[in-house]
Amino acid sequence: MVFRFDSMARATYALLTSLLCVGGEVLLLGLDYLGVVIVLMMTIEMAIMAVFMVMYMMNPAGLMPMTMVHNAKGAAVICAVVFAALATGILLAPWPERRGKPPGDATNALGLSLMGPQMLTMMTLGMALFATIVGTVVLSTRRGRYDRFGDDLTGERASDPVPGGVGR
């Protein structure tokens, strides 16, 4: 559906829908943490992408017909050849036999296989990145939380830069 819509915002949300389905499949596989992370990450990513597409694309609302596919016949031939090669590979590949049994905690096993002994490092890095994001947002605002009523919070009226807000 991403390639069917004329609107970039609709195409973004169609892509979000497909990625949410992937997150749902991961949840169905029993990897709860990874599935929730995929859902949250893709939702936020696609929302940000839609905002930037609406801001910077020439035709964000799809008011003029557009196509995101170029050389449709050539692309269809390439897709058919790649599909046939992959299907042949699936059918002809010698699949290995399972050895051992699946781990009791699949999420922990996945984390250890991906990160190994660096799990604590990555968790610390995640918190450092989060603190950096929060710090950047705090430092980028000119006014603090209590600036509306003065430093000592004794102002009767809020000094909002745009009149008509909550403190009028």
109 pLDDT above the threshold of 70:
yes
153: Cα separation from own chain's centroid? 40
Q: Is 94 within a domain?
A: no
Report yes or no on whether pTM surpasses 0.95: no
Tens of pLDDT, residue by residue over 34-89, are 889 889 998 998 888 878 877 777 666 666 666 666 788 998 999 999 999 999 99
Roughly what angle, to the nearest 10 degrees, separates helices 119-140 and 106-115?
80
Is position 101 within any domain? no
165 pLDDT higher than 60? no
Q: Which residue has the higher pLDDT, 15 or 115?
A: 15
Average pLDDT, the chain: 81
pLDDT of residue 55: 77
Per-residue confidence (pLDDT) for residue 152, from 0 to 100: 67
Question: In the chain, how many domains are there?
Answer: 2
Longest dimension (CA), the chain: 79
pLDDT score of 83 = 97
CA distances 94 to 7, 40, 88, 99, Å, are 44, 37, 12, 15
62 and 126 inside one domain: no
Q: How confident is the model at residue 12, as a pLDDT?
A: 82
Please say whether the beta carbons of 147 and 161 come within 8 A.
no
Check if the beta carbon of residue 62 is closer than 8 Å to that of residue 4: no
User: Residues 96-107: what's their mean pLDDT?
Assistant: 87
pLDDT at residue 125 in the model: 86
- Please give the residue range of the domain that contains residue 57: 1-71
Is 141 inside any structural domain? yes
Q: What are phi and psi of 9, to 5 degrees?
A: -65, -45
For residue 51, tell me if it sits in a domain.
yes
User: For the segment 140-154, what is each residue's pLDDT rounded down to a tens digit?
Assistant: 776 665 666 666 667
The residues, any chain, with a CB within 8 Å of residue 68's CB and separated by 6 or more, are 2, 3, 11
What does the alpha-carbon distance between residue 107 and residue 32 come to, in Å, rounded to a whole number? 8
Burial group, residue 71, by CB count within 10 angstroms (0-12, 13-18, 19+): exposed
